[in-house]
């Protein structure tokens, strides 16, 4: 892997990069650690990409794991396609699991949307998982309190209309170019707790440099937020039946990209072989703010091959 233009203490580019085909959709994978080590999958969140694990993954790799990450479709260096959906993302993850694990159960660590997706896959196909770690990826209830029904309906209307208007004009759209600092500042508005140095590093591994400036690689047709029939509390209802050792790691500081879940409200849903760690004073990107502590917690559950 080429060296990034901006360095960040503790960040290591992946040792290997590969391409997995999920049908005719190309998914880019990254690996840190020994090629002959036992595989461990890390799954990024929405609007992120695998290289956001550049600090966290090497800490697990140092313990002997062959850590495998992948860019979800439309993110990072994976294909931009016609359609995006939760189920399609889960299928793509299955293709990567088939590629790296060949049917054997392996440990999986998922952050945010990636964590919630893996809870659903672990419930549907538990044989793929030896352990499951969920980093701030358990949505709970997102009802807006003290709002009258007609106001709620109006909010839904404006959300859907904005989304449809976006769909009408998204053909041929490109992301706005900028300097490394400008893109870092834009990302910083959604991730106010992350340092500028980290955000600048992320730009150099998650954006591409065109003639007129840097652009985030994420598909411009994708849009933050959205609407639909999915209920956040459905993830938590899948937890109690999970058969594999399970660890949930929560941050407590609310952030725009987080689920807003109050950790204590989901503790009673943990599976029989499950535990939760709540890290006070940490935001949604728990593994980025406290990489060593989270790696330590993960290794405590999955063990160290070396």
Partner 1 sequence: MTVPVTQVVHNRVTLALHRLRDGDGRPLLLLHGLGESSPPSVPTWASAWVGPVAALDFTGHGASTIPRGGGYTAEILLADADAALGQLGEATVLGRGLGAYIALQLAGTRPEAVLGAVLADGPGLAGGATFPTSQSFFALPPAPVAPDPYALVELSRDLRPADYAAAFVRLAATGSRLEEPITVAAVHRPPWLVAVADEPGVAEASVADALRRYAGA
Nearer CB in complex with partner 1: 6/162? 162
Nearer CB in complex with partner 1: 160/190? 160
Rg (CA), the chain: 19
Establish how many alpha carbons lie within 13 A of residue 110's alpha carbon, considering only the half-sphere containing its beta carbon: 26
CB of 164 to partner 1, least distance (A): 5
Nearer CB in complex with partner 1: 141/221? 221
CB of 173 to partner 1, least distance (A): 9
Nearer CB in complex with partner 1: 90/299? 90
Nearer CB in complex with partner 1: 37/115? 115
Nearer CB in complex with partner 1: 56/216? 216
CB of 278 to partner 1, least distance (A): 24
CB of 121 to partner 1, least distance (A): 7
How does strand 25-32 pair with strand 16-22? Answer: antiparallel
CB of 183 to partner 1, least distance (A): 24
**Can you tell me the distance from the alpha carbon of 210 to that of 178, in angstroms, rounded to the nearest whole number?**
10
Nearer CB in complex with partner 1: 164/211? 164
CB of 79 to partner 1, least distance (A): 7
C-alpha separations of 106 from 3, 16, 98, 217 in Å? 30, 19, 11, 29
Binding site for partner 1 (CB under 8 A): 22-25, 73, 79-85, 87-88, 90-92, 94-95, 121, 123-125, 150, 153-154, 156-157, 160-161, 163-164, 167-168, 170-171, 221, 227-231, 234-235, 237-238
C-alpha separations of 87 from 91, 114, 202, 258 in Å? 6, 12, 27, 21
CB of 186 to partner 1, least distance (A): 23
DSSP letters for 153-191: HHHHHHHHHHHHHHHHH-TT--PPPB-HHHHHHHHHHH-
Establish how many alpha carbons lie within 13 A of residue 184's alpha carbon, considering only the half-sphere containing its beta carbon: 17
**Can you tell me the distance from the alpha carbon of 18 to that of 169, in angstroms, rounded to the nearest whole number?**
33
Nearer CB in complex with partner 1: 3/224? 224
Residue appearing with tokens 């659903």: 120
Using a 10 angstrom Cβ sphere, with 0-12 exposed, 13-18 middle and 19 or more buried, the burial of residue 145 is exposed
CB of 248 to partner 1, least distance (A): 17
**Can you tell me the distance from the alpha carbon of 137 to that of 259, in angstroms, rounded to the nearest whole number?**
7
């Amino acid at each position: 892997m080429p060296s990034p233009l901006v360095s960040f203490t503790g960040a290591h580019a992946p040792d290997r990069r590969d391409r997995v085909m999920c049908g005719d959709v190309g998914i880019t994978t990254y690996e840190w650690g020994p090629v002959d080590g036992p595989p461990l999958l890390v799954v990024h969140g929405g609007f992120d990409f695998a290289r956001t694990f550049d600090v966290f993954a090497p800490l697990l790799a140092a313990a002997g794991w062959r850590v495998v990450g992948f860019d979800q479709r439309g993110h990072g260096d994976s294909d931009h396609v016609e359609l995006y959906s939760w189920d399609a993302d889960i299928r793509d993850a299955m293709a990567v699991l088939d590629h790296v694990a060949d049917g054997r159960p392996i440990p999986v660590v998922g952050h945010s949307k990636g964590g919630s997706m893996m809870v659903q896959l672990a419930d549907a196909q538990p044989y793929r998982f030896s352990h499951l770690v969920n980093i701030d990826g358990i949505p709970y209830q997102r009802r807006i309190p003290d709002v009258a029904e007609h106001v709620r309906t109006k909010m839904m209307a404006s959300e859907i209309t904005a989304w449809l208007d976006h769909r009408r004009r998204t053909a041929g759209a490109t992301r706005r170019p900028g300097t490394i600092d400008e893109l870092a500042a834009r990302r910083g508005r959604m991730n106010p707790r992350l340092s500028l140095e980290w955000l600048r590093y992320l730009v150099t591994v998650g954006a591409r440099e065109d003639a007129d400036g840097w652009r985030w690689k994420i598909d411009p047709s994708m849009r933050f937020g959205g609407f639909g029939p999915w209920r956040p509390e459905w993830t938590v209802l899948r937890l109690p039946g999970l058969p594999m050792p399970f660890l949930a790691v929560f941050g407590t500081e609310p952030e725009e990209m987080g689920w807003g879940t109050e950790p204590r409200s989901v503790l009673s849903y943990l599976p029989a072989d499950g535990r939760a760690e709540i890290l006070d004073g940490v935001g949604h990107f728990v593994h980025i703010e406290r990489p060593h502590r989270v790696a330590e917690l993960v290794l405590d559950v999955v063990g160290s091959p070396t």
